[in-house]
């Protein structure tokens, strides 16, 4: 139940991140601002996550885990409520930064707590259960939040996100154990973990292994319509297929990582690169597009549990800070993916995105194979 309660909070926070794109026109119209200005609300949230991850984690490293988790959830509840009542654009922008500040730290603490509570050899599966909240936030939470915003107003969406996190708080208080702080020594000593080559490679693996599929996901709608030939009305259905694949892939990826972490990651990244290449080669065929979309959703989230577990095991005594920085690195990869996809489209249209993503994923595969070889050499 501890992992389930943490997953519920992850679901609400992920919904709060991704739902904004669905209510941007409503926000822009109500506040009389350009759509481009409303789009900065997403950027503000990401900036909060990128900056808040390492900073908040360092500042709270000496706090016991349960009070820290409770405090982070409370901040998220209040920040999303502030978004709901913000009288104008400037305060709304500030509230989105505040909401994003605690997310990376909460993800890190939740993942580290789940891994610590898991039975030996089941850490990746426990991480996958927490990460399921992320999947559901994208697949279920964001569409539901958009529906609420379209029918009850965009402020109701933020109230719903705030309420979902608040509803999960009693379960967290009841079931999450109060583990000791992440460190008892000087907080700056936590930074020594980043001198470890294994940690450096683990974070690089997350960034390089995800940037390709993040580029595809960012521009999935035009890829489905302009390359796949589907009408705009079919996009939500295909996105549900992507999401269904993500839920299945998340569970399978956790089990594979429990059995053989780096070998399974290498195999999944190789398969992901192959499916991306298939989508590029046969993107104009509807059947290929449907199959590849579901497979991409499955593979995109099958690699997540193993990557997070790799960071935890490599970090040793400072897993929370390492996972928080890893989450910030993921957000930087997502920001780069948005920029890169735009440049590719300007140059040759959306279809080459698949091929570029495949090549980028091969880069992540190279890091996984190098890490695997390095670990075997050290053991030998």
Neighbours of 194 (CB within 10 A): 15
As a whole number of angstroms, the distance between CA 280 and CA 351 comes to 6
pLDDT digit string (tens) for 298-345? 999 899 889 988 988 887 767 777 877 888 788 788 778 877 888 888
pLDDT digit string (tens) for 179-218? 766 555 555 556 777 788 888 999 999 999 999 998 888 7
Ordered alpha helix ranges (H), 86-122? 89-101, 103-117
Q: Using the 8-state DSSP alphabet, how is residue 191 labeled?
A: G
- How high is the pLDDT of residue 71? 92
Give CA separation, 96 vs 13, 57, 87, 107, 134, in Å.
12, 19, 14, 17, 18
Lowest-pLDDT range of 231-240, 242-251, 284-293: 231-240
**CA nearest to 361, candidates 300, 308, 302:** 300
Does 12 have pLDDT greater than 80?
yes
As a whole number of angstroms, the distance between CA 228 and CA 221 comes to 10
pLDDT band with cut points at 50, 70 and 90 for residue 296:
very high
As a whole number of angstroms, the distance between CA 200 and CA 124 comes to 20
Does 85 have pLDDT greater than 80?
yes
- How high is the pLDDT of residue 251? 85
- How high is the pLDDT of residue 145? 84
As a whole number of angstroms, the distance between CA 214 and CA 203 comes to 16
pLDDT digit string (tens) for 95-146? 999 998 888 888 888 887 777 777 777 777 777 778 778 778 877 787 788 7
As a whole number of angstroms, the distance between CA 137 and CA 143 comes to 9
pTM: 0.78
Q: What token pair was written down for 287?
A: 């059947």
């Amino acid at each position: 139940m501890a992992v389930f309660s943490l997953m519920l909070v992850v679901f609400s926070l992920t919904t709060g991140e991704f739902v904004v794109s669905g209510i941007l026109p409503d926000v822009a119209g109500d506040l009389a601002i350009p759509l481009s200005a409303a789009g900065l609300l997403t950027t503000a949230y990401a900036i909060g996550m990128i900056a808040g991850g390492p900073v908040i984690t360092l500042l709270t490293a000496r706090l016991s885990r349960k009070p820290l988790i409770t405090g982070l959830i409370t901040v998220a509840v209040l920040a999303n409520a502030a978004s709901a009542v913000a009288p104008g654009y400037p305060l709304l922008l500030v509230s989105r930064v505040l909401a994003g500040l605690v997310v990376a730290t909460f993800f890190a603490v939740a993942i580290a707590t789940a891994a610590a509570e898991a039975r030996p050899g089941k850490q990746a599966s426990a991480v996958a259960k927490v990460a399921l909240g992320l999947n559901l936030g994208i697949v279920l939470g964001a569409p539901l939040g958009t529906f609420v915003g379209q029918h009850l107003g965009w402020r109701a969406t933020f109230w719903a996100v705030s309420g979902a996190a608040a509803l999960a708080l009693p379960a967290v208080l009841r079931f999450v154990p109060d583990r000791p702080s992440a460190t008892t020594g000087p907080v700056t000593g936590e930074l020594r973990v980043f001198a470890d080559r294994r940690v450096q490679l683990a974070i690089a693996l997350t960034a390089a292994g995800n940037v390709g599929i993040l580029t595809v996901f960012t521009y999935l709608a035009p890829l489905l319509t302009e390359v796949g030939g589907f009408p705009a009305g079919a996009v939500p259905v295909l996105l549900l297929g992507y999401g269904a694949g993500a839920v299945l892939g998340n569970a399978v990826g956790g089990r594979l990582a429990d059995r053989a972490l780096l070998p399974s990651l290498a195999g999944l990244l190789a398969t992901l690169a192959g499916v991306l290449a298939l989508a590029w080669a046969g993107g104009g065929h509807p059947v290929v597009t449907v199959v590849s979309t579901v497979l991409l959703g499955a593979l995109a989230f099958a690699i997540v549990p193993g990557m997070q577990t790799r960071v935890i095991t490599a970090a040793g005594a400072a897993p929370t800070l390492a996972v928080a920085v890893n989450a910030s690195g993921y957000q930087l990869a997502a920001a780069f993916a948005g920029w890169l996809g735009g440049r590719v489209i300007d140059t040759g249209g959306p279809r080459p995105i698949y091929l570029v993503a495949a090549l980028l994923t091969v880069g992540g595969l190279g890091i996984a194979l190098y890490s695997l070889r390095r670990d075997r050499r050290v053991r030998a």
